[in-house]
Amino acid sequence: MGAVSAVDINKILEKAKYASAVFSQLDQEQTDRIVRAVYEAGFNNRIKLAKQSFEETGRGRWEDKVIKNVVATQLVYENIKDLKTVGVISDDTKSGITEIAQPIGPVLALTPLTNPVATVMFKTLIALKTRNPIIISPHPKAVACSIEAARICYEAALKEDAPEDCIKWIDAPSLDLVQAFAGHKDLALVLATGSANLVKAVRGAQTPSIGVNFGNVPVFVEKSADPAFVVEQILISKTFDNGMVCSSEQAIVAEKTISDKVIEELKQQNCHFLSKEEIKAVEKIAIDPSGGMNDGIVGRSALDIAKMAGIEVPEETKVLIAPLKGVGPDHPLSSEILAPILAFYTASNFEYAVKLCMDLNYHGGIGHTASLFSNDEEKIMEFASMMNAGRILVNTPSSQGAVGALYNTLDPSFTLGCGTAGKNITTDNITAKHLLNIQRIARRRISGRLEHFDQNQYFDQTLDAKEIEKKFNLNY
């Protein structure tokens, strides 16, 4: 396709609009047949696409990308297959409300470097399930694998008589292009999972968007937790695809009474604690001069990062741990880093630990995810109420936990709503239900109280709220 011009954008969206029009005629059965075919095609190509994604991006682990592809296809399909997305989805005689699901129109899907293929397949499935055409705008460093995933999905959809152009893609993505799409009148929604610049670029556009915010996930190890289990779970998450999931743990905050045991377990399970000098060396390569994460280390292994930083660590090292005393710009490794690097804090008590977690949460990760290990329900509730996070994960590896379906019953998703803190309308794990316009037929049901209440009394200035309520509720 080459560089995409304004004329091309018009053409792409025109075709997507036609696809949207044709889609509107499909019933639930036809829609579900298409979704089933696309799921199967994506699932059957899970290994090929994982390897291609690894080869193209050079990041993460292909074996973990297979698991991501399984979540994005099989588990997402399981989650949405029985969802009613066409026509009447609920009908309540008592309230007189009937709900009808309507498609929203063409969706622009920005997909990230960290989960390119899985995000394409996930967004395609939820878009098709809701009869919406989708336009994939892949990360510039993961174009080929993303387009291959989209192409596989499209071919499978067409075989089941899906509308032509129901899946489209851009092969020369750019910030300008995304902005131009997002400002186009024919686009219905942007599903923005991508770099901070891209997410920001679409926020100001006239088209509504759902964009994933930065994460900076604190994991609090409360004193009632089981240290061996905690460390095992955190490592399952932090080593998964070399820590590239945005909901992966960024800092461990351990209460003092349990901290030594946690440190001991981390060491036993092949984590390397960085010295002060090593922390400085890692900071230089992990954080760029502007204070943001250095793209070059995203998804690299702990050994690769150690080599890049010029420090020696044992061959079996899984994660680099940086013991820190504070949070913020003076402590660069307290920021989000999508690689196997973890900050570590010892907190003298529960209150101090919660405050540290709040600092981490507010240091670039509000709205996203927080995690804790605890067997004390009261402490879990207290911790949760202090965090500004859409997901509070309990006794769970946070990479896999936030994505849903594997360790809990959250909807499986590769787009994690971050609430108003992340300039989103929801903290939900985004799924098919978010790509529908719900019409409500509201039948006449007059309130019995209102009917028997003399409404002239509203014009009597001498009657205050209490008196009106009393009369309004008389004999009710």
In the list 56, 64, 165, 411, the residue contacting other proteins (rule: CB under 8 A) is 165
Q: Which stretch binds other proteins (CB under 8 A): 139-147, 160-168, 221-229, 241-249?
A: 160-168
Cβ(238)–Cβ(321) below 8 Å: no
Token pair for 68: 């991501």
Choosing from 246, 271, 357, 418, the catalytic residue is 246
Cβ(211)–Cβ(423) below 8 Å: yes
Minimum gap (Å) between residue 6 Cβ and other proteins: 18
Scan residues 93-122 and list those touching other proteins (CB under 8 A): 105
Minimum gap (Å) between residue 163 Cβ and other proteins: 6
Minimum gap (Å) between residue 19 Cβ and other proteins: 7
Scan residues 16-45 and list those touching other proteins (CB under 8 A): 17-22, 24-25
Instruction: Note whether 362 binds other proteins by CB under 8 A.
Output: no
Instruction: Note whether 163 binds other proteins by CB under 8 A.
Output: yes
User: Number of residues in contact with other proteins, rule: CB under 8 A?
Assistant: 13
End-to-end Cα spacing for the chain? 68
User: Between 22 and 468, whose beta carbon lies closer to other proteins?
Assistant: 22
User: Between 22 and 303, whose beta carbon lies closer to other proteins?
Assistant: 22
Q: Which stretch binds other proteins (CB under 8 A): 88-96, 156-164, 251-259, 383-391?
A: 156-164
Binding mask 315-354 for other proteins (x = CB under 8 A): ----------------------------------------
What angle in degrees, to the nearest 10, is found between the helix axes of 377-386 and 350-362? 30
In the list 164, 226, 304, 382, the residue contacting other proteins (rule: CB under 8 A) is 164
What angle in degrees, to the nearest 10, is found between the helix axes of 116-129 and 62-70? 10
User: Between 166 and 205, whose beta carbon lies closer to other proteins?
Assistant: 166
Minimum gap (Å) between residue 103 Cβ and other proteins: 9
Write the secondary structure of the chain as one string of H (helix), E (strand) and C (coil). CCCCCHHHHHHHHHHHHHHHHHHCCCCHHHHHHHHHHHHHHHHHCHHHHHHHHHHHHCCCCHHHHHHHHHHHHHHHHHHHCCCCCCEEEEEECCCCEEEEEEECCCEEEECCCCCHHHHHHHHHHHHHHCCCCEEEECCHHHHHHHHHHHHHHHHHHHHCCCCCCCEEECCCCCHHHHHHHHCCCCCCEEEECCCHHHHHHHHCCCCCEEECCCCCEEEEECCCCCHHHHHHHHHHHHCHHHHCCCCCEEEEEEEHHHHHHHHHHHHHCCEEECCHHHHHHHHHHHECCCCCECHHHCCCCHHHHHHHHCCCCCCCCCEEEEECCCCECCEHHHCCCCCCEEEEEEECCHHHHHHHHHHHHHCCCCEEEEEEECCCHHHHHHHHHHCCEEEEEECCCHHHHHHCCCCCCCCCCCCECCCHHHCCCCCCECCHHHHEEEEEEECCCCCHHHHCCCHHHHHCCCCCHHHHHHHHCCCC
Minimum gap (Å) between residue 344 Cβ and other proteins: 55
Long-range contacts, 90-96 (Cβ 8 Å, 24+)? 95/445, 96/442, 96/443, 96/444, 96/445
Minimum gap (Å) between residue 24 Cβ and other proteins: 6
Strand partners, 457: none
Instruction: Note whether 420 binds other proteins by CB under 8 A.
Output: no
User: Between 132 and 239, whose beta carbon lies closer to other proteins?
Assistant: 132
User: Between 19 and 205, whose beta carbon lies closer to other proteins?
Assistant: 19
Minimum gap (Å) between residue 15 Cβ and other proteins: 8
Minimum gap (Å) between residue 151 Cβ and other proteins: 18
Give yes or no: 246 in active site: yes
Minimum gap (Å) between residue 156 Cβ and other proteins: 16
User: Between 60 and 105, whose beta carbon lies closer to other proteins?
Assistant: 105
Binding mask 259-298 for other proteins (x = CB under 8 A): ----------------------------------------
User: Between 17 and 318, whose beta carbon lies closer to other proteins?
Assistant: 17
User: Between 38 and 293, whose beta carbon lies closer to other proteins?
Assistant: 38
Residue type, 156: A
Q: Which stretch binds other proteins (CB under 8 A): 12-20, 69-77, 417-425, 436-444?
A: 12-20
Q: Which stretch binds other proteins (CB under 8 A): 13-21, 170-178, 270-278, 294-302?
A: 13-21
Site residues (vs other proteins, CB under 8 A): 17-22, 24-25, 105, 161, 163-165
> Annotated active-site positions, please?
246
